[in-house]
Amino acid sequence: MANPSTQVPSNAITTEIIFAQEFSQVSYTLLEIPKSLESFLKENENNDLSFQIRGLETDAAVLCTPTQTFSLQRAHTSNTLMPIAPIKRQQKRNPEATIDEAPTLPMDMDFGLDMDMDTTEEEDKKEGEYDQQMVLDILDSVLDLIPVSPRLERLSELLNMAPFEGWAQEVDRKGYIYTWEHLQSAIQASDKEIKQWLKDHHACLIDGHWRLFRQRFMYDILQEMLMAVNVLEMTVQDIEATALYQAICEDNTEANGIQEWMVKHCLESFAEEGNLPSGHFKLSDKKMCLFMGVHILSTVERGNRWILSDFMRHWQQSLHNQFEPDLAYLAGECIIDTEKSPDQRYQPIKYIRYFSKDNLPNEAAARFAALFEIKPKWEAPEIRPFLRDLVLDEKKLDILLLKHARSVKQPGGGVVYNSRIIK
């Protein structure tokens, strides 16, 4: 007598699982998505969405949604998974057929439709609801999607190949220029993250290509704007755009001069939202101070560093006394050093030098190595701005510091970080 545990119950639905002759084991991949992406999909279930794997052939793969970037990491599973799909039969089923007699099935056949066009539901029940399912793949791993910071460092490299500095210089321009589609394919970041970078760096769409103004060229336009504001007796909190364009551009009608669209781009890029009439703009303190400060620090005419007091005075002058410079605006763009004065009767001298996070490696271990090479000890408020772009939130920044740096509490309060690597 047969073992009851191995007998199929009379009311069971059975199925026959087969492999096609052209079976391939690399047809499918399972993705395990995080909660944030699951929520995004549910919120946009009625919208057309497209996800892309972006980057160059030598890059580690990332998947980009319209708003976020995810790394792809393969994780092996302890159990093998076999996804299957029902076969759409083309003729009435022979109940006596065995798996060896099953017809050859092309890989592009239809799945999941009515199983038998020549049999009725009643006939299926008489046959014990016996169906065939075809194995689509054999899977022993899944791809985990892990939210990561966008990898935007290549944007600066690409767009600085051919910065815009006026039409006269375009004749001799060297280097490639890039459309939006070019940037999408090369940059490992979502569309939203790429657009935010372009906005933050004052990029401009010129003849279908995204360009950065050369720093000196933009500095000259901003200086013209501030001088015109003073002449017209306006304030940077309420600039009437039409009057500003006329004041700057009336004597710059030649191809190599400053044109209205250039002033408009700078005005819109450095403005902030305010309750102003249409055509009026308020310049942002932070944006203006940051740009002017970085421009002064990154020029080589004064050497590698400035005495802090000299720099502050020059910074204030470049802003035409319209803004109040604050060193907090330059966080992540400079280093301040303190050295003893040769004369012991005087206070230590503070120096400031250009040192931008944008020029540091994008990989965490290499970033910390570069920071501790340039300066062996960092106070917490100093080092954090140079690391913030590596993580998605402040809590992860604390974890990153704990992993790559050694913290030492100071007697007077505060924390100093130094390298975990002993040389």
- For the residues 19-23, what does the mean pLDDT come to? 80
Q: Which of 80-84, 113-117, 241-245, 393-397 has the lowest mean pLDDT?
A: 113-117
Handedness of CA 114, 120, 122, 124 (dihedral sign): negative
Query: Residues 347-356: pLDDT tens digits?
Result: 889 999 999 9
Examine the pLDDT at 94 and tell me if it is beyond 60.
no
CA atoms within 13 A on the CB side of 303: 6
Question: Can you give the pLDDT at residue 412?
Answer: 79
**Which has more pLDDT, 105 or 355?**
355
Report the distance separating Cα 203 and Cα 186, nearest Å: 17
Contact 318, 292 (CB under 8 A): yes
The residue assigned the tokens 């560093």 is: 305
Question: Can you give the pLDDT at residue 150?
Answer: 94
Examine the pLDDT at 146 and tell me if it is beyond 60.
yes
Q: Chain-centre distance of CA 289, in angstroms?
A: 25
In sequence order, the 6+-apart residues with CB closer than 8 A to the CB of 101 are 94
Question: Can you give the pLDDT at residue 117?
Answer: 42
Residue 103: band (very low, low, confident or very high) from pLDDT cuts 50, 70, 90: very low
- Give the containing element (helix H, strand E) for 286: helix 285-298
Question: Can you give the pLDDT at residue 320?
Answer: 95
Examine the pLDDT at 113 and tell me if it is beyond 50.
no
Q: Which of 90-99, 350-359, 369-378 has the lowest mean pLDDT?
A: 90-99
Question: Can you give the pLDDT at residue 110?
Answer: 47
**Which has more pLDDT, 110 or 374?**
374
Q: Which of 95-99, 155-159, 165-169 has the lowest mean pLDDT?
A: 95-99
| Helix (H/G/I), strand (E/B), else coil: 363 | coil
Average pLDDT over all residues of the chain: 85
Question: Can you give the pLDDT at residue 133?
Answer: 87
- For the residues 74-82, what does the mean pLDDT come to? 88
- Give the containing element (helix H, strand E) for 200: helix 191-200
Secondary structure E strands in 109-156: 131-135, 139-147
Examine the pLDDT at 92 and tell me if it is beyond 50.
no
Question: Can you give the pLDDT at residue 299?
Answer: 84
Short-list 169, 264, 254, CA closest to 225: 264
Tokens found for residue 195:
């657009």
| Helix (H/G/I), strand (E/B), else coil: 108 | coil
| Highest-confidence segment of 27-41, 81-95, 148-162, 340-354 | 148-162
Examine the pLDDT at 423 and tell me if it is beyond 90.
no
Residue 302: band (very low, low, confident or very high) from pLDDT cuts 50, 70, 90: low
Residue 19: band (very low, low, confident or very high) from pLDDT cuts 50, 70, 90: confident
Query: Residues 124-141: pLDDT tens digits?
Result: 444 444 468 888 888 888
pTM for the whole thing? 0.80
Q: What is the DSSP string of 145-162?
A: EEE---B-HHHHHHHTSS
Tokens found for residue 209:
């290509």
Question: Can you give the pLDDT at residue 105?
Answer: 42
Question: Can you give the pLDDT at residue 127?
Answer: 47
Examine the pLDDT at 253 and tell me if it is beyond 70.
no
Residue 8: band (very low, low, confident or very high) from pLDDT cuts 50, 70, 90: low
In sequence order, the 6+-apart residues with CB closer than 8 A to the CB of 370 are 360, 361
The residue assigned the tokens 């996804």 is: 83
- For the residues 163-184, what does the mean pLDDT come to? 89
